[in-house]
Amino acid sequence: MPSPWTVRPRRRLCAPLCGLLLLTTAAAAAAASAPAPAQDPPAPAAAAPDAKPVTLTLAAKRGDTARYRSVLTMEFGGQEIVVEQVRKETVARAGEKDLALTLESEGGKVTVNGNATDLPAVPSTAVTLNRANRILTFTPESPDDGVLPRASQHLVALIERVVLPDRPVKPGDSWTTEADHPGLPGKKVTITTTYIGEERRPGADGPPALRLKQTVEADTEYGARALKGETFALLDAATGELIASQQTVTGLPSPQGPIGWKGTLQRLPTPEAAPAPAPAKKEGS
């Protein structure tokens, strides 16, 4: 029986880079067990002792869209590799308890030691979530494109999605969820999320955003708890949607061996709708 981490290798260096573009938000590169340095997330302000509990749930409705820019940095063979990508999420269906999303890459670029190459858009991925942002199903259009196995694509999706609490929480509260391991039947992926507190973004109107930290750990063929992901995220307090995040990943299985990176994800402004054309004037008016 083939390993769940095995695919049919058939591409050069940019293939591993394009492979992680196929995942949910991310774009990434060839094998490296140690990610390149990236800026650490800012330390959150101390929470007020009388901070009120907050309740978070995804408030998305059918037809909603969001666009994100991701930037991932890693090292491979002594070279610094930076991958930039823009991705669009569209809510294809919105039920009372769950959502169906379509994730589409809009392309990007990879820069190796200062030399940039354009990256094309890649096939879409269908994801269903519950209203706590927990992944229920993950179905890439091309589950095996010769770059990354579907199991690894699914693991990255689990790292990226910040799971919301099922109860009101105060700063310092944590909750742990488990997901079935997509590559090791009978094993679980452990997701621990902590609410840090409110954070006012410079120049932002409205209520403060909410900062959370999430860690993900899972066994892989490289050993127990060999895969580790850590994310610091800012969420919209009204909708539960991601505003921005910083992420560190190590030990993701790939045909080249364990890979890792550090990266950022930033929501892009929603394009303003074009004004409706003025009605044509009637002749003689």
The whole-angstrom separation of Cα 242 and Cα 201 is 14
The whole-angstrom separation of Cα 261 and Cα 242 is 20
pLDDT for the residue 31:
29
The whole-angstrom separation of Cα 254 and Cα 26 is 15
Radius of gyration of the chain (CA): 20
Q: What is the pTM of this model?
A: 0.80
DSSP letter, residue 13: T
User: What would the CATH number be for the domain defined by 14-43+61-267?
Assistant: 2.30.230
Query: Nearest-5° angle of CA 10, CA 217, CA 92?
Result: 70
Mean per-residue pLDDT of the chain: 82
Helix (H) or strand (E) holding 156: helix 150-160
Extents of the domains making up the chain = 14-43+61-267
The whole-angstrom separation of Cα 249 and Cα 159 is 8
Do 91 and 133 touch, CB atoms closer than 8 A?
no
pLDDT for the residue 206:
76
**Low-confidence stretches of the chain (pLDDT beneath 50):** 8-39, 42-45, 273
The whole-angstrom separation of Cα 94 and Cα 62 is 5
Query: Nearest-5° angle of CA 20, CA 43, CA 241?
Result: 50
Closest CA to 76 of 22, 108, 33: 33
Query: Nearest-5° angle of CA 269, CA 37, CA 260?
Result: 85
The whole-angstrom separation of Cα 183 and Cα 205 is 43
The whole-angstrom separation of Cα 181 and Cα 238 is 31
Do 60 and 167 touch, CB atoms closer than 8 A?
no
Give Cβ neighbours of residue 60 (< 8 Å, ≥ 6 apart). 91, 94, 99, 239, 241
| 218-271 pLDDT, tens digit each | 999 999 999 999 999 999 999 999 999 999 999 999 888 898 999 999 999 976
The whole-angstrom separation of Cα 177 and Cα 175 is 7
CA distances, 3 to each of 17, 145, 155, 219, 280 (Å): 22, 16, 15, 14, 65
The whole-angstrom separation of Cα 66 and Cα 200 is 21
* Conformation bin of residue 223: beta by default, left when phi > 0, alpha when psi is -120 to 50: left
